[in-house]
Structure 1
Amino acid sequence: MKTRFDTLLGRFTMYRLTLALLVALALEAFLLSAAGLLAFTLTELAATLAVTLISTVVGTRLMALVLRLRPHTESTLITGLILFFVMFPSNTVTGLGGIAVAGLAAAASKFLLAVRGRHIFNPAAIGAVIATLLGVSAAGWWVANPYLLPLVLLGALVLLYRTGKLTLGLAFVAVSAAILIGGLVGNGLTAGAAAQLIFLSYPILFLVGFMLTEPLTLPPLRWQQLAVAVVVAVVFASQPSIGPILLGPEFALVIGNAVAFLMGQRRGVRLRYTGQRQLTPTSTELVFEPARPVRFDAGQYMELTLPHARADARGARRTFSITSAPQDTSRISFGLRTADPGSSFKKALLGLREGASITGTLVGGDFRLPGDRSVPLLLAAGGIGVTPFLSQLRDVVERGEERDVVLLYVVTAPTEIAYLAELKHLGTRVILFASADPSDDGVELPASWRYAGSGYPDADALLREIPDLCERRAYVSGSPRIIAHLRAALKQAGTKRVATDAFVGY
């Protein structure tokens, strides 16, 4: 069931999934208004929605035109819809004018309050902050409504799960709820009544699910993200004031964005394309020469930005695991599945001419080997999911470390074995599962490799091939389906610690 769910979510980009959930929430709001269950009329909701969408779309397209950039339609619509739920609805000229200012400010912030193509603040939050500081409008956060709560909760859980941020969400909810409940209990409410009040009347779930998890405004490492969540929760729940201005949820998120910006690596680097090579019939390695050395840990990813004509909904940014070693400062390489390029980004990437430049805008990820070199390891890869492990194995060799490592490699066919020569050179012990014995197809495996059978290995097969499996710390990388299967098999076999590549939709 989990595998099917992961595979289903993996078919949708985060933009499309978030947009769909927001549209569903907006439709429910109109139905509730028609039934008299919201404090706002259909006219107020319709006028507010029209203004937030029009102002953000117009503002984005004008800024893109001036700066000669390509606007991202889905991102723009998401900003407009979030503002619809954040700003206090109105159908007056004055009220709608203030909301339009928030929309225009939100759109402009993506271009003006940005560093190397990455905006610093959540656009909807900074739009609401600017409108408040100018005194032309105010955030109402009317999305915090008992009737909207079930869908908000469902949407927040889906987005937190899809982005691998459930722990972040739990941290934010726990800290903010503890502070708010403590304050309300101090004012005479029972703990139960206080808990009911904050979840029905405060935008805790919408803020964390639909806004705090925005990847472009989060720092790259998990501990940094948790720290930002705690900062936002403390400001949000404490509700401090500066003079006459109450620092509401939008201010809390903007403050958290600023902290995240200071934490995260925001220096972009130009990457000059030097060539590519076919790894397997369905995968390719791309190699670049960085304008300056790129600092990263083996197992991390890099976000690549490549503006291109006719960009589809997935946009001009994608993240790929780095395959080169951190010590190799003269080059940086990425392995990716290219059998069906699908996205306009991959097509543009594969069509680069030698000498062309793209931008690496972010390095991040916590998929790293333990610092203790005595810990025995199992690296389990499905197909092109071997890419982060290649960087890690190269790093081990470059450091001259002695580590007990077994690579479990699952491929659909012997021809899909990527980096065979490199893994042979590294001397890695490999347990291979493929649809057929490679020797039958004339593929000679290194002496350190063993062909163990076809299909996805179950717990019994794993224990048969790796008797000391329970003593090893396991890392799993690949598609959502292979990650779910191998993780379950490893747990069933008795493996206590299993780390997985966090990117659902691999």
Structure 2
Amino acid sequence: MFVKATKLIDEFLNGITMYRLMLYFLIFLWGEVFILSIFNIFPFSFLQLTFSTIAILLSCYITNKLFSYIFKIPANLESVYISALILVFLVLPANTIPELAFIIVAGSLAMASKYILAINKKHIFNPAAIAVFITSLFSLGYASWWIGNQWTLPVILIGGLLIAKKIKRLSMVLGFLIIFSFATLAFSIINQSDLPKTIYRILVDSPILFFSFVMLLEPLTSPTVKKMQIIYAVLVGVLAGSQFNIGPIYSTYETALILGNIFAYFVSFRKRLVLEFKEKIQMSPNIYEFIFSAPKSLAFLPGQYFEWTVGHRRPDSRGVRRYFTIASAPTENNVRLGVRIDSEKGSSFKKALLNLNVGQKVYAGQLAGDFVLPKNKSQKLVFIAGGIGITPFRSIGKYITDKEEKRDIILFYSNSEPESFVYKDIFEKAKEYGFKTIYVLTKNYENIKWDGHKGRLTAEVIKKEVPDFASRTFYLSGPSKMVESYKKLLKELGIRNHRIVTDYFPGF
């Protein structure tokens, strides 16, 4: 039963973007609060909640439209709605004209911050946090952080865990919660507060889980490297759990997050690139390569990924932003993107990619990924790729060829169709530098001449082709089901977790 439930959750998460998942979660949470407000669970009526929500949504929408036009940057409605709904949960619904003015100003500031408080088209601060920070600084209004009690706890916990699992940042949340709890308890002891009440407030009657899962994890304003994510979580945890003030600035959740955002900016990729589309190449019946102009200043490691934004009308449930590995190597003059596209069943994002015109602009940001070559060049490696999961290995193969860098690498490249094997020329050239490729055809191999392996990649095949497999590090890239299947196989072969590296590959 548990295995079946886990499988269903994974399938759901692989079929939706993080942004759309966040939006659905916030809408569901709002619906719960609306119902509870009818029964007077919260200190406001359902009419106040509805009216204030509409006011914030309109404020955010209009302001974002205006600044999008001024700065000539495509508007992203998902982001607008997410920021607006977060603000709804931070400020109490308006009951007077001044309170209404406050929430409208907060909504406008949140959207304006994305354009004004930005460097190289990358905004620095969490929009909702910086909005309530500025309003409090000038005494225009304050965040009450009213969301978070025994009634909303289950929804926030379940929705938050799904989000953290989707973007693989659960360790970041746990690190923050542990440090925050220690800091809060320490100050509680110093101030001789009631410890049981403090513990209850931390666990149940506080917005800390909402803060952790919704605001702390925002990809654009938090670090992309795991080590930096933990440091970021610890820093924000200490600040959020402490009690301090510097002039008019007091220790609040928004203050802690903003200071953390500044740290994140300096340790992360600091640009949002505007790439110009140059060419589309159909490499197989359903695999395409898209080539974009590359800025001269672009630096990355082979195997890393970008978050790609392709604006288009009527986006489906997966939205206008997707994560894809960079297929090109840092040594190339263009940025290449390899994508599997089913022209009939493909997402609106992929259809928009197919319909790009030469010279059209797309956006790429959040450069990240730990699926990179080890610094130790003598370390022996095994790559296992399924389908379009080959793209990071194309980047690596091209890189070591251009750099003439000797490595001991064995690549198992599996596909269900003979014509779906791509980048063969790249891997052929990489052979000279120790990069051996073994093609594995899993289906449709009857009545055809095939020199590679036929059928699934098994433990016996690995043992035969890689006699020293026990001393190697394995890299897995492909659909999540395939990756999980091979992780299980490798563990049965005695390969420990620290020798298994998986790509962040959140669905096709």
TM-score after normalising by structure 1: 0.90
**Alignment deviations for residues 67-117 of structure 1 (CA, whole Å, 9 cap, x no partner):** 454432222111111111111233222212211111111122222222344
Matches within 5 A, 1:187-226: 187-188=191-192, 194-226=198-230
Match in the other structure for 1:471: 471
**Alignment deviations for residues 244-271 of structure 1 (CA, whole Å, 9 cap, x no partner):** 4423111211221222222222235554
2:477/2:505 contact within 8 Å kept: no
Cα distance in 2 between the residues matched to 1:22 and 1:357: 31
Tell me how far 1:357 sits from its aligned partner.
Answer: 4.9
Tell me how far 1:461 sits from its aligned partner.
Answer: 5.2
**Alignment deviations for residues 123-162 of structure 1 (CA, whole Å, 9 cap, x no partner):** 1111211221231211011112122111111111111110
Match in the other structure for 1:56: 60
In structure 2, relative to structure 1, the CA distance for the partners of 1:356 and 1:65 (3 Å cut) is closer
* Counterpart AA for 1:7: E
Match in the other structure for 2:39: 35
Matches within 5 A, 1:428-447: 428-436=435-443, 440-442=447-449, 445=451
1:3/1:480 contact within 8 Å kept: no
1:460/1:493 contact within 8 Å kept: no
Match in the other structure for 1:505: 507
In structure 2, relative to structure 1, the CA distance for the partners of 1:84 and 1:439 (3 Å cut) is same
In structure 2, relative to structure 1, the CA distance for the partners of 1:158 and 1:358 (3 Å cut) is closer
Match of 1:179 among 152, 172, 183: 183
Cα distance in 2 between the residues matched to 1:437 and 1:404: 31
Cα distance in 1 between the residues matched to 2:492 and 2:486: 10
2:414/2:442 contact within 8 Å kept: no
In structure 2, relative to structure 1, the CA distance for the partners of 1:166 and 1:459 (3 Å cut) is farther
In structure 2, relative to structure 1, the CA distance for the partners of 1:441 and 1:72 (3 Å cut) is same
Match in the other structure for 1:114: 118
**Alignment deviations for residues 39-88 of structure 1 (CA, whole Å, 9 cap, x no partner):** 33333323332322222222223333444544322221111111111112
1:335 aligns with 2:338: yes
Tell me how far 1:505 sits from its aligned partner.
Answer: 2.4
**Alignment deviations for residues 410-461 of structure 1 (CA, whole Å, 9 cap, x no partner):** 2122221121222122223234332347695456x5xxxx41x324x45555
Tell me how far 1:324 sits from its aligned partner.
Answer: 2.5
Cα distance in 2 between the residues matched to 1:189 and 1:467: 63
Matches within 5 A, 1:146-185: 146-185=150-189
Matches within 5 A, 1:319-334: 319-328=323-332, 330-334=333-337
Cα distance in 2 between the residues matched to 1:301 and 1:41: 46
In structure 2, relative to structure 1, the CA distance for the partners of 1:195 and 1:460 (3 Å cut) is farther
Match in the other structure for 1:302: 306
1:391 aligns with 2:392: no
In structure 2, relative to structure 1, the CA distance for the partners of 1:271 and 1:78 (3 Å cut) is closer
1:14 aligns with 2:15: no
Cα distance in 2 between the residues matched to 1:197 and 1:356: 52
2:277/2:359 contact within 8 Å kept: yes
2:145/2:207 contact within 8 Å kept: yes
Cα distance in 2 between the residues matched to 1:310 and 1:117: 24
2:225/2:368 contact within 8 Å kept: yes
- SS of the residue corresponding to residue 85 of structure 1 reads helix
Cα distance in 2 between the residues matched to 1:261 and 1:138: 26
Cα distance in 2 between the residues matched to 1:461 and 1:239: 60
Matches within 5 A, 1:1-150: 1=3, 2-150=6-154
Cα distance in 2 between the residues matched to 1:13 and 1:188: 46
Matches within 5 A, 1:411-490: 411-427=415-431, 428-436=435-443, 440-442=447-449, 445=451, 450-451=452-453, 453-455=454-456, 457-459=457-459, 462-463=462-463, 465-490=465-490
Cα distance in 2 between the residues matched to 1:22 and 1:408: 42
In structure 2, relative to structure 1, the CA distance for the partners of 1:149 and 1:459 (3 Å cut) is farther
In structure 2, relative to structure 1, the CA distance for the partners of 1:288 and 1:69 (3 Å cut) is closer
In structure 2, relative to structure 1, the CA distance for the partners of 1:355 and 1:504 (3 Å cut) is closer
* Counterpart AA for 2:455: S
- SS of the residue corresponding to residue 185 of structure 1 reads helix
Unaligned runs of 5+ in 2: none
Tell me how far 1:400 sits from its aligned partner.
Answer: 3.5
* Counterpart AA for 1:505: G
Cα distance in 2 between the residues matched to 1:145 and 1:222: 31
1:120/1:257 contact within 8 Å kept: yes
Give aligned pairs, total.
Answer: 498
* Counterpart AA for 1:424: E
Cα distance in 1 between the residues matched to 2:198 and 2:426: 60
In structure 2, relative to structure 1, the CA distance for the partners of 1:347 and 1:98 (3 Å cut) is same
Matches within 5 A, 1:270-419: 270-308=274-312, 314=318, 316-328=320-332, 330-340=333-343, 342-419=346-423
1:306/1:349 contact within 8 Å kept: yes
1:269/1:290 contact within 8 Å kept: no
Match in the other structure for 1:491: 491
- SS of the residue corresponding to residue 380 of structure 1 reads strand
* Counterpart AA for 2:489: A
TM-score after normalising by structure 2: 0.89
Cα distance in 2 between the residues matched to 1:270 and 1:75: 19
Cα distance in 1 between the residues matched to 2:118 and 2:316: 22
- SS of the residue corresponding to residue 363 of structure 1 reads strand
Unaligned runs of 5+ in 1: none
1:73/1:313 contact within 8 Å kept: no
* Counterpart AA for 1:251: T
